[in-house]
Amino acid sequence: MTVILAGVGVDQSNVGRNLPLYPDGTFEYIPIPEKTAETDETETFGSWKLRSGGVAADLLSRIRPVPGRDDAWITDPDRIAGWPLHWDPNFDALTYGEHRGSVDRRQRYVPLLESLESGDIVAFYAGLAPVDGGDPHRYLIGYWTVDTVVSTEGLDPNGQRRLLADHADNAHAKRATDGELHYDRVGADGKYVAIVAGREPGGLFERDPIRLSEKYVKPGNERAGYYLTDRITDEWNLTDPDADPVALTRKPAMRFDLDGETFLDRVGSPGER
């Protein structure tokens, strides 16, 4: 059986900061900015409630909906507050989607998600920074048990429309227009979406996320980087890594040869954390 680990949530690349980790072990999860305002998603940075009180917009001075473009930063507080979230993963509805394309830096995500079967685990990690000082790290923040995995690849417009309607809570379905995906609208070739529907046990941790990274200078590098810890690599039985050690800076997807029961035993249920 398989556990797939996926990097999620806002960070330095899209809001200019990491999410806070509080001294009592609680933390914030905030989805990334939606690439477009044309979505049915009603949650915005101004409505997304924080565990510490207030809303997500209170933590942010800028957002970048379009990745990699320095001219795409939004700094106006009203626009930030009104900007919709790409609520993915959605821990309430237990739905998660990723898109695939030939030039997509995250193209490895989709084949890994498509390899999941019912009873496997999809788990999620984010960059968190202790508010009382210390380095930010990558932390496991939640997971769920896989129910089904579906894909829009090869579907005709009617088939794609039906699939997205069946997964209406997914962020990719919310930003679709009459069954036409966002990437169809903007003319990106080769894009399709894989959606993982979940079931319990699963959910977002209440507190005590599990640290996955260690920070050190790799031989041949000038700056310290974040890498998957040896303990996680060994105990979870990492397979097909891109490199050794596995760099977590760009939030790669990772596959572990670990059955669901063993994962649950080692991690615990979200309600117990």
For residues 142 and 175, the answer to whether their CB atoms sit within 8 Å is no
Please report whether residue 137 resides in a domain: yes
Instruction: Decide if 189 is inside a domain.
Output: no
Residue 171: inside a domain: no
pLDDT in single tens digits along all 273 residues of the chain = 899 999 999 999 999 999 999 999 999 999 999 999 999 999 999 999 999 999 999 999 999 998 878 888 999 999 999 999 999 999 999 999 998 765 445 568 999 999 999 999 999 999 999 999 999 999 999 999 999 999 999 999 999 999 999 999 999 999 998 888 887 776 666 678 999 999 999 999 999 999 999 999 988 888 889 999 999 999 999 997 655 678 898 899 999 999 888 999 999 999 888
| Residue 192 domain-assigned (yes or no) | no
d(CA 182, CA 175): 6
Report the Cα–Cα distance between both ends of the chain, in Å, rounded.
24
Answer whether residue 115 is part of any domain.
yes
Give domain status of residue 218, yes or no: yes
What b/e readout covers 112-151, taking b as 16+ CB neighbours within 10 angstroms?
A: bbeebeeebbbbbbbbbbeeeeeebbbbbbbbbbbbebbb
pTM of the model: 0.94
Structural domains in the chain (count) = 1
Domain that holds residue 124: 2-146+198-267
102, part of any domain: yes
Assigned domain for 166 exists: no
